[in-house]
Structure 1
């Protein structure tokens, strides 16, 4: 099969699929991307680079800047696809991430090739992430901007042949009229890699906690309100008071990956550490980690805090569950799709740092009672989110769509 993947941040959600198709010498696999990072190489996969010829105009109406950026990326991806076509490459299927723009004009260069789109998120002003925090109300301008932000995604919804969303919650955000066109297939968790390591001690190049028995962990791409970073920091004051031997390990970059930055230029880490007095000798910010070190963190975790607005569900929560982590998760729709309180994890009010601390204390002081919850967390991922099962489903769906032309 000839496959064209499209994502500006190679390999992203298509890492396992690209590797699977690339491992078969009978396939020809090309990945169109903006990412030139030489560290990412997948055997059997050829990268085809594209780059917009300019940035969005600063004078463009701010509702339309995302749309203009998507069009520019779409043009760049089209030019790259045009070169591939001249070289004789006609894909049997195209699979790209919707919203960035790379998929917008693929039907114009390959009109007879089925197009699949990965539909990660549809922006809604009501009932999801945008209006979740009552302390951060939306303005009229926000309502209009958010509606307009879906323009490129709506184009893909109309002209694609089929789509995929990773969770039922994420699919539910898209207009109902398109639901029959979108299958729910998660990217999958490698349960053979993310597995428990009983008795693991945490030793990283920059941190040795081998002497510590109580380790609370938190993982996110950025330190931001969307992933409950302020509430997590506030909970640490209660945790440190209740658990004097407990250490906390925070994995992630000191930046905002989703949502708004602070207007004064401070990061949320700076702001929260100024606001909440903590014993920082027991709080360890280790930055973003390579997979091997990140795995050691969650394998050694006693309790893992995962908070999110009603938004995209993080891989990190499922990876942590796969290692047998005891998740203290926010009582929000994306988490509740996976976690049942008291069965395979514990749920808390996103906005209650005190409740978060109480449940962390409950986990640490009652290890025997929590043992079955850890087992059930692992079992949930093995049964429902295992890469070994979902990858074959994903490939089968792509093959079915490819044959539909």
Structure 2
């Protein structure tokens, strides 16, 4: 089978599918991306790098910019696909991430290839993601939010089927399209993300954990409000005061992935560290870590805090559960889909750093009594999100869409397990 994957980043959510399909010498697989990750190759998978088409140079309104960005991604990939076509590559199926716009014109260049779309998020101007902070949005702001769905709506009408990783994320899409979207998570490698026989302190460069008897962990791609970094950091003075042997590991890049930007280029780390006084000898910013060290952090964790707005659920949350972490998570919809309070973790109030601090301190005090939550956290991932369960479902859907052909519109709705 000839398969074209496309995602702005390589390999992102398509890693496991691409790795599995690349092992079959009968498959020809090309991955079109704007970020080829030169340090990362997948056997049997060729990269096709594309760039956005050039901007016109005209001054555009914010709403025009949103549309223009999507079209430029789409025309950039269109040009790359024309080159692939000249080289004789005609895919049997296209698998693409819907959201940035690169998938806009795939049906035009490859009309005989059915399109399986990955649907990560739909932007609802009055939805929980937007209303979560309690701030009233202007009509212009709401219009701009809705404009972010333009490319996604094109994909919803043109795709043969789709995948969304969680029921919560799928539920954000318009009701009239949900029958086309299967809820199948990307999958967690539970053999790799597993509890360590002994919870030894991780060996991290430039991090001195001498004297640490407890390890509080927090992991996020970016240190920002969408992932509760301000609330977490404001909770630290109380936690450190009450638990003198506690050290804190904050894993993530000092950047903004989803949240509003601060004035003058300031980061949220700079803002919070300037406002909140903590014992810096016990609070360690590791930056992003290689997988091996990141896993060591999770395995050594005494308590792991995961906070999120009602938004896309992080892989790190499920990886922490797979490692048997004792989780204190935000009482928000995406977390509640996985974590049941008192069963496989504990829920806390996202909006209250005081409550987060009290809950973390209480959990640290009682962690020996709460070992069963660790066991059930891991079992939850093994039962529902293990790669050995999710990957066969993804591949089955891919084959189903490929066999149905370009004109098919498959009802793929199914309940996630």
Q: Scaled by the length of structure 1, what TM-score is found?
A: 0.97
- Shifted more, 367-376 versus 264-273: the winner is 264-273
Residues 1:354 and 2:370 are matched in the alignment:
no
SS of the aligned residue for 1:280 comes to coil
Corresponding residue of 2:12: 12
**8 A contact 1:188–1:385 mirrored in 2:** yes
SS of the aligned residue for 2:154 comes to helix
Corresponding residue of 2:140: 141
- Shifted more, 211-220 versus 16-25: the winner is 211-220
- Shifted more, 208-217 versus 81-90: the winner is 208-217
Residues 1:295 and 2:295 are matched in the alignment:
yes
Report the CA distance between 1:211 and its aligned residue: 4.5
Q: Which runs of 5+ in 1 are unaligned?
A: none
Residues 1:236 and 2:236 are matched in the alignment:
yes
Corresponding residue of 1:372: 372
Q: Deviations over 1:54-102 (max 9, x none)?
A: 1464612211212211111111111111221222211111000001112
Residues 1:270 and 2:256 are matched in the alignment:
no
Looking at structure 1, the residues matched to 183 and 291 of structure 2 have their Cα atoms a distance apart, in angstroms, of 26
Corresponding residue of 1:67: 67
SS of the aligned residue for 1:249 comes to strand
Q: Deviations over 1:299-336 (max 9, x none)?
A: 10101111000000000000000000111110000000
Looking at structure 1, the residues matched to 80 and 265 of structure 2 have their Cα atoms a distance apart, in angstroms, of 38
**8 A contact 1:342–1:373 mirrored in 2:** yes
Report the CA distance between 1:368 and its aligned residue: 2.5
Corresponding residue of 1:91: 91
SS of the aligned residue for 1:250 comes to strand
SS of the aligned residue for 1:202 comes to coil
Quote the RMSD (CA, aligned, Å): 1.3
**8 A contact 2:211–2:245 mirrored in 1:** no
Q: Deviations over 1:180-231 (max 9, x none)?
A: 0000000000000000013222211222426522000011111111111110
Looking at structure 2, the residues matched to 92 and 304 of structure 1 have their Cα atoms a distance apart, in angstroms, of 44
Task: Give the alignment of 1:376-391 within 5 angstroms.
Answer: 376-391=376-391
Looking at structure 1, the residues matched to 127 and 146 of structure 2 have their Cα atoms a distance apart, in angstroms, of 13
SS of the aligned residue for 1:297 comes to helix
SS of the aligned residue for 2:187 comes to coil
Residues 1:30 and 2:34 are matched in the alignment:
no
Q: Deviations over 1:104-149 (max 9, x none)?
A: 1111011121101100000012232112112x43222211111111
**8 A contact 1:201–1:210 mirrored in 2:** no
Corresponding residue of 1:114: 114
Q: Which runs of 5+ in 2 are unaligned?
A: 406-417
Looking at structure 1, the residues matched to 58 and 260 of structure 2 have their Cα atoms a distance apart, in angstroms, of 19
Report the CA distance between 1:282 and its aligned residue: 0.6
SS of the aligned residue for 2:169 comes to helix
Looking at structure 2, the residues matched to 44 and 54 of structure 1 have their Cα atoms a distance apart, in angstroms, of 31
Looking at structure 2, the residues matched to 212 and 52 of structure 1 have their Cα atoms a distance apart, in angstroms, of 48
Query: How many correspondences in the alignment?
Result: 404
**8 A contact 1:202–1:208 mirrored in 2:** no
Looking at structure 2, the residues matched to 119 and 205 of structure 1 have their Cα atoms a distance apart, in angstroms, of 37
Q: Which runs of 4+ in 1 moved over 3 A?
A: 55-58
Looking at structure 1, the residues matched to 223 and 192 of structure 2 have their Cα atoms a distance apart, in angstroms, of 26
Residues 1:154 and 2:149 are matched in the alignment:
no
Looking at structure 1, the residues matched to 297 and 206 of structure 2 have their Cα atoms a distance apart, in angstroms, of 12
Looking at structure 2, the residues matched to 392 and 210 of structure 1 have their Cα atoms a distance apart, in angstroms, of 45
Higher RCO structure (Cα 8 Å, ≥6 apart): 2
**8 A contact 2:322–2:378 mirrored in 1:** yes
Structure 1 residues 262 and 5, CA gap change in structure 2 (3 angstroms) = same
Q: Scaled by the length of structure 2, what TM-score is found?
A: 0.94
**8 A contact 1:56–1:68 mirrored in 2:** no
Looking at structure 1, the residues matched to 339 and 58 of structure 2 have their Cα atoms a distance apart, in angstroms, of 43
Corresponding residue of 1:172: 171
Looking at structure 1, the residues matched to 57 and 357 of structure 2 have their Cα atoms a distance apart, in angstroms, of 47
Looking at structure 2, the residues matched to 307 and 35 of structure 1 have their Cα atoms a distance apart, in angstroms, of 28
**8 A contact 2:202–2:293 mirrored in 1:** no
SS of the aligned residue for 2:328 comes to strand
